[in-house]
Amino acid sequence: MTATHFRHPDAGAPVVVDPSTVTRTERVWPGMCGHNSLLVGQIGDWTWAAVSALCGTDVLAARDRRGAATYLSFYYYRIRGSRRFHLRTPTFGDWLTVTSGLFDFGSESVLALHRISPAEPAEPGTAGLAAGPRRPTAIDPVRFYAGSDDGCLYVENFNRWVARSREDSNEELLRASPADFTHRHLPELPQRYSPRPVCQRARTELTFLDPDGAGLVAREELRLRYEVDPSRDLNGVGLLYFASYFAIVDWALLRLWRRLGRDDRSFLDRVVADQQLCYLGNADLGSVVTVVLRRWQPVAGGDRELVDLVLRDSQRDRLLAVCTLELLTGGAA
């Protein structure tokens, strides 16, 4: 038997490192990788698992003080990688070390920072990991936001507890934390790293790009319409699934890609070094989402371009999400 044919002794089992940190070893299966949003969804599940393990509540069955179901919704999702290791690098059979740290943002929110890196499987009959991966330690925000290791994926999830205001609608969701949610034992994030001002800028400026930043020139703008697909886009409780927003972004980006004369193979080979997405609303069945894209390039040229996407409910012109991507293009025009 070779190392590729057995289950790692720690695979899939979250291990509590300290009161605010869990780590896990995961093998990549087909349902969590590819040219899609599957790994985005898996990382989101790891956020829910970390909160369940460290904050005294069962996230999958959370109830507010009224006894109504409440959900740990995604408000801000950021993924940073590199040419060496990015969101679409992991593939069948790879091993990952995932360390997740939680930070206190009060009774209605929580921040999760995930550091994801390649891991070598242990040999049959041994415990732990083979030589190479780091030992699990609490996440240091300074090192995390510096992101100096290009062999890691850095993922930031800022979540808010919400409940439906009406049983038959995904609009006008209410803030509602579980009665048993504990958070005061979690460390506080240094204010300079708070996602709140970043998301406020995205909401008002419709971009994560610095409005005072220089050196970028606007290129193409494209407007599209996307119909929410009930066979694909909703989660198990009927909400527009948080990972579906990423899928809609990719759907729209592909159409911009083709408009630019690029082929589908180059789309699959794209490297997204940074992606930020702020969730500002949910959508009901039958909704049509208007997606507006704008592409930016550095004035000085180079192998980097940026794309802003704004998603709105077309019927009510209600803002649903703002997303900015940084792509490493290798000099694509």
Measured CA distances, 71 to 53, 105, 167, 169, 331 (Å) = 16, 16, 14, 15, 42
Low-confidence ranges of the chain (pLDDT < 50): 1-10, 125-133, 331-333
**Domains of the chain listed by start with CATH number:** 3-189 (3.10.129.10), 195-328 (3.10.129.10)
Instruction: Indicate the SS3 state at residue 163.
Output: strand
101 phi and psi, to 5 degrees?
A: -120, 135
- In order of 42, 51, 56, 115, the CA distances from 46 in angstroms are 6, 9, 16, 11
Q: Could you tell me which of 227, 243, 237 has the C-alpha nearest to residue 315? A: 227
pLDDT confidence of residue 137: 79
Residue-wise pLDDT tens digits, 230-250: 999 999 999 999 999 999 999
Q: How far apart are CA 46 and CA 23, in angstroms?
A: 10
Helix, strand, coil percent values for the chain (each to nearest 5): 20, 35, 45
Note whether 250 and 275 are within 8 A (CB).
no
Q: What is the DSSP string of 96-140?
A: EEEEEEEEE--SSEEEEEEEEEEEPPPPTT--SPPSSSPPP----
Q: How many CB atoms lie within 10 A of CB 106?
A: 10
CB-CB contact of 92 with 33 (8 Å): yes
Q: What is the pLDDT of residue 135?
A: 60
The pLDDT value given to residue 14: 84
- pTM for the model: 0.91
Predicted confidence at residue 223, as pLDDT, reads: 98
Q: Which amino acid is at 295?
A: R
Give me the pLDDT at residue 132, please: 41
* pLDDT score at 8: 46
Give per-residue pLDDT as tens, 92-134.
999 999 999 999 999 999 999 999 999 976 555 444 444 344 5
Q: Which two tokens stand for residue 318?
A: 């209600």
Distance CA 279, CA 322 (A): 7
Q: What is the pLDDT of residue 112?
A: 98
Gap between the Cα atoms of 73 and 159, Å rounded: 5
Which residue in the block uniquely carries the two structure tokens 């527009």? 240
